[in-house]
Chain A
């Protein structure tokens, strides 16, 4: 089963097939992932008949995934680590399948971020699309979730329409904003900032990184939400559709992407009143 003889693609693929090909086996593995069980405990938790349980447990034992200690069955630690990865990959695959039509209209094959090797956090996300009756639906999301946030990290492909309103909110509250902008947008943003009339002092910190090459995606992450947008296959940013999630795992995932993007951008410019 494990050990070095399996350190190659074909053998790993065979083992994945063994683990996932049977619904009954998956039920048993999921049950043992949560806690060790007796045969009776497995039967009670899975509802499977004793014959199926015995056959599958025997196979899992012979391959080294499960050990029997005093008639209590345990997954090995390596098995737990492997299964956790398989189950999360399954979440990623289900997300991709559910969103295939939308995602395939967008250019994603140029995205090389490490965070994209695990997109299971997006499983909780919702696709929000503008409609003919509400063409600014997605743009309004940035305002809705940006106002009142204490911290915003954003990779933004366009100049927000009511930027002065945004500045007012930022300077009335102590916020920390990190922006990664394309060169043209960055220049426009800094110019707007320099033209903005400040009524009072503020403890807010706004910093801008400029990226010389084009952006690959749009990202907006606060402590409470992640909003993610993509470029279409024709190279234009799709301002009419974004994914949004308020789940902590998705938000942390978004912060990871932001950190990776920071490394390819210029140094921060810290804006002051």
Chain B
């Protein structure tokens, strides 16, 4: 029987509390991404996010309580955990876009042999070009493949 990752995945014991807390709140997510790789004073944040100032301040304090944001000398920046969290969330969005860009392709092909690593790095295919054979160029994909194999250092 062929190995299928999806048969084995078990997330049933995992709690979703913090994930929901972050991902289902537009303003908290906006703040995390807005502060990624930078520090800002409150006025800068207010001017960049299209949200009510009182909501921004309340959400910032919530994120500070959750140890994801730090305030120092009137500047806000991500904590170490906030930084890693933002990196991981950005990757999710990149993966989502990649999956969506090639929705029809994925739907028409088996994904049962995909590894978890491939699925988690699927964003690398976001800008991939789909090459398909047709009735006129029946062997197109094979020809391109062989050309690349024979000239690995040259781009086509």
Which residues of chain A have a CB within 8 Å of any CB of chain B? Answer: 2-4, 6-7, 9-10, 12-13, 16-17, 20-21, 23, 26-27, 30, 33-35, 76-78, 80-82, 84-94, 96-97, 99-101, 103-104, 106-109, 111, 116-120, 249, 252
**8 Å CB interface, B1-22 against A:** 5-7, 9, 11-12, 14-16, 18-20, 22
List B contacts of A6 (CB < 8 A): 100
Given contacts A13-B29, A76-B107, contact A96 B81 (CB under 8 A): yes
A13, B120: Cα distance in complex, Å: 18
A252, B120: Cα distance in complex, Å: 14
- With a 10 A CB-CB cut-off, give which of B11, B90, B119 has the most chain A CB atoms: B11
List A contacts of B11 (CB < 8 A): 30, 87, 90-91
CB-based contact B9/A34 at 8 Å: yes
A106, B106: Cα distance in complex, Å: 40
- With a 10 A CB-CB cut-off, give which of B14, B109, B122 has the most chain A CB atoms: B14
> Nearest Cβ in chain A — how far from B78, in angstroms?
7
Nearest 10 pairs of A and B residues by beta carbon: A108-B80, A117-B91, A87-B11, A17-B24, A109-B83, A100-B67, A77-B106, A96-B81, A90-B19, A92-B88
A116, B91: Cα distance in complex, Å: 10
**Main SS class of interface, A:** helix
A94, B5: Cα distance in complex, Å: 22
Residue of A nearest to B117 (CB): A252
A23, B121: Cα distance in complex, Å: 27
List B contacts of A35 (CB < 8 A): 6-7
> Nearest Cβ in chain A — how far from B1, in angstroms?
13
A93, B119: Cα distance in complex, Å: 18
> Nearest Cβ in chain B — how far from A71, in angstroms?
20
List B contacts of A77 (CB < 8 A): 106-107, 109, 111
> Nearest Cβ in chain A — how far from B42, in angstroms?
20
- Interface residue tally of chain B, by bracket? 35 or more
CB-based contact A117/B87 at 8 Å: yes
A41, B89: Cα distance in complex, Å: 33
Q: B26 on the interface (CB 8 Å rule)?
A: yes
List B contacts of A27 (CB < 8 A): 12
List B contacts of A119 (CB < 8 A): 84, 88
- The one of B5, B78, B92 in contact with A85, judged by C-beta atoms closer than 8 angstroms, is B92
Given contacts A13-B26, A77-B111, A84-B116, contact A107 B80 (CB under 8 A): yes
> Nearest Cβ in chain A — how far from B117, in angstroms?
7
- With a 10 A CB-CB cut-off, give which of B5, B23, B26 has the most chain A CB atoms: B23
A12, B29: Cα distance in complex, Å: 12
**Main SS class of interface, B:** helix
Given contacts A13-B24, A33-B6, A119-B88, 10 further A-B contacts (CB under 8 A): A7-B97, A12-B96, A81-B95, A85-B92, A85-B120, A90-B19, A91-B11, A93-B19, A104-B81, A109-B77
A-B contacts, 7 listed (Cβ < 8 Å): A4-B100, A13-B23, A86-B19, A88-B116, A93-B22, A101-B67, A117-B88
CB-based contact B16/A81 at 8 Å: no
> Nearest Cβ in chain B — how far from A41, in angstroms?
15
Residue of A nearest to B85 (CB): A96
- With a 10 A CB-CB cut-off, give which of A81, A99, A107 has the most chain B CB atoms: A81
CB-based contact A82/B81 at 8 Å: no
A200, B4: Cα distance in complex, Å: 49
CB-based contact A103/B23 at 8 Å: no
Residue of A nearest to B118 (CB): A81
CB-based contact A89/B92 at 8 Å: yes
- The one of B81, B84, B114 in contact with A116, judged by C-beta atoms closer than 8 angstroms, is B84
Given contacts A88-B116, A96-B85, A104-B80, contact A81 B15 (CB under 8 A): no
A136, B95: Cα distance in complex, Å: 42
List A contacts of B18 (CB < 8 A): 93-94, 97
- The one of B68, B85, B116 in contact with A249, judged by C-beta atoms closer than 8 angstroms, is B116
Residue of B nearest to A249 (CB): B116
List B contacts of A81 (CB < 8 A): 95, 99, 106, 111, 114, 119, 122
